[in-house]
Chain A
Amino acid sequence: MIGAVQNIISNPTLYNMTQSTITQITTETCLKAVGRPSFILMDKDIDTQTKKYSSVKEFLYQMTCLGIYLAAVMPLLKKCSFKLAGKLSNEDVFKAFKSSGDFLKYHKMDEAGKIAKLEEINRNLPTGDKFIKENIDENLAKGVVEVSSIIGSVTGLAIVAPIASHPLIHPIMKVMGLDKKSSEKPQEVKK
C-alpha cells in the first residue's frame, strides 16, 4: 500500500504534467468549482433557495472563467510570448523553434530524439548556422512559456473572465429558473 502511494507521488508522468502552468490552473479551477459550491451547500445558516442559487452561481463562474482562459487567453499569449522573446533575446533556442508548441515537443524528447530533431532543423536552415544541443537553453525557453502562462492566468482569471462571465452567468441561471432578479420583480411591482 505504502509502495503504491510512493510510486504515485514520485510518478514522472505526473511530474511532467504538473510542471505545466495550464495543467496546474485547470486542475485547481476544477477543484474550486467542486469545493466552493459544496461548502456553500453545507452551510446551515443559509436557506435552501439561497444555497442553491449561490452554489450554482459559483460553479458557473469557475467553469466560465476556465473556459475563457483556455479558449481565448492562453492560445493568444502562447503565440505572442515566444515570438516576443525571440525578438528581445538572441538566444539560439528562440531562433531554432518558431513556436512554443515546437519547443515543447522538443523538450519532451529524450537525448537521442533531441539530437535528431536539431539535425533536422540544421538541414533545413538556409544559412550556414548550426544549432547544437549545448547552446539550446531549455530552461530559459520553458521558463518563458511558463511565465507567459502565469501572466495569462492572472490576466484571464482575475481581470478578463470576471467581466466576461457576468453577462453569461445570468442568462444561464434565468434558463435554470434560479435568477434572483426574476423572483424579486413581482415584489417590487407590489411596492
Chain B
Amino acid sequence: MSLGTTVKNICRSIGKDNNPAYAVVAIATAKGIFRPLFTMMDKKESPETKKYAALREGLTEVIAIPTYLLCGTLAGKGAALFKDPVKAKMAKHNLRFVGVCTAALLVIPGLCSVFVKPFTDKIFHKNNKNENVKSQPDELNIVSKAEQTQLQKMPITQTGHLHSYPAKNVSMTAFTNSGMRV
C-alpha cells in the first residue's frame, strides 16, 4: 500500500467519523513535547524553576493523553442503550464528545492536582537533599592513617615470651609516619 493510499484511507476514516479524542490527543502530544521545550529555552528563569515547570507541564500532558482516550471510550459505551442503529451511532459520537469535555473540565485538572504536585515535589525534594549532602564540606579526618603498633596489652609474664625483647615487633614505619603531616 503506497503512502498516498494510506493518507487517503486515514482521511476517509476521519471524514466518515471524526472521533473527538483524535484532535485533543494530537494537541496533548504536541504540547507534551513543545511546552517543556519552550520552558527550558526561557533565559529569564533560573534553571531549577525551569526544570520544575517543564516537568510539571510534561507530566500534565502525559496524564491527559490516556485520560482523553479512556473518558471518550468509556462514555461512548453508553450508546449501547440505544436500539436504533442510526441513533446509536449519533449517541456514540456525542457521548464521546461529552466524555472528552468532562476529561478536559474535571478529570485532568483533578488528576493533576492529585498526582503531579506530589510527584514533582518528591523528585525535587530528593534532588535538594542530594545537593545538600554534596554541598556539605567533608568532615575533618583527624584520625592518623599511620600504621598503629600493636602493643601487647597482656603482661609479659602471661604471654610466655619472657626471653624475647618486647620492642622487637615495632617497625620503623611507626616512627617515620608519626608526627604532624604538612
Q: B140 within 8 Å of A by Cβ?
A: no
Q: A122 within 8 Å of B by Cβ?
A: no
Q: B110 within 8 Å of A by Cβ?
A: yes
User: Contact between A10 and B27 (Cβ–Cβ < 8 Å)?
Assistant: no
Give the distance in Å from the alpha carbon of A145 to the alpha carbon of B23 in the complex.
Answer: 13
Q: B14 within 8 Å of A by Cβ?
A: yes
User: Contact between A139 and B34 (Cβ–Cβ < 8 Å)?
Assistant: no
The contact string, 1 if C-beta is below 8 Å from chain B, for chain A 29-46, is 001101110110001010
Which A1-44 residues have a C-beta within 8 angstroms of B? 6, 9-12, 14-15, 18-21, 24-25, 27-28, 31-32, 34-36, 38-39, 43
Our pick among A12, A143, A157 for the contact of B15 (Cβ within 8 Å) is A143
Q: A111 within 8 Å of B by Cβ?
A: no
Give the distance in Å from the alpha carbon of A162 to the alpha carbon of B4 in the complex.
Answer: 32
The contact string, 1 if C-beta is below 8 Å from chain A, for chain B 84-111, is 0001101101110110110011100110
Q: A140 within 8 Å of B by Cβ?
A: yes
Q: A163 within 8 Å of B by Cβ?
A: yes
User: Contact between B113 and A19 (Cβ–Cβ < 8 Å)?
Assistant: no
User: Contact between B100 and A154 (Cβ–Cβ < 8 Å)?
Assistant: no
Using Cβ atoms and an 8 Å threshold, which residues of chain A touch B35?
Answer: 158, 162
Place the interface of chain A in its size category.
Answer: 35 or more
**With A28-B24, A150-B22 known to touch, is A159 a contact of B106 (CB < 8 Å)?**
no
Instruction: Mark the stretch among B5-13, B129-137, B159-167, B172-180 that contacts chain A.
Output: B5-13
From residue B140, how far is it (CB to closest CB) to chain A in Å? 34
User: Contact between B22 and A143 (Cβ–Cβ < 8 Å)?
Assistant: no
Our pick among A9, A20, A153 for the contact of B95 (Cβ within 8 Å) is A9
Our pick among A18, A38, A154, A158 for the contact of B93 (Cβ within 8 Å) is A18
Using Cβ atoms and an 8 Å threshold, which residues of chain A touch B87?
Answer: 10
Our pick among B88, B97, B105 for the contact of A24 (Cβ within 8 Å) is B97
Q: B170 within 8 Å of A by Cβ?
A: no
Q: A132 within 8 Å of B by Cβ?
A: no
User: Contact between A144 and B26 (Cβ–Cβ < 8 Å)?
Assistant: no
User: Contact between B105 and A34 (Cβ–Cβ < 8 Å)?
Assistant: yes
Interface residues of chain A, those whose CB is within 8 Å of chain B, are 6, 9-12, 14-15, 18-21, 24-25, 27-28, 31-32, 34-36, 38-39, 43, 45, 88-89, 137-147, 149-150, 153-154, 157-159, 162-163
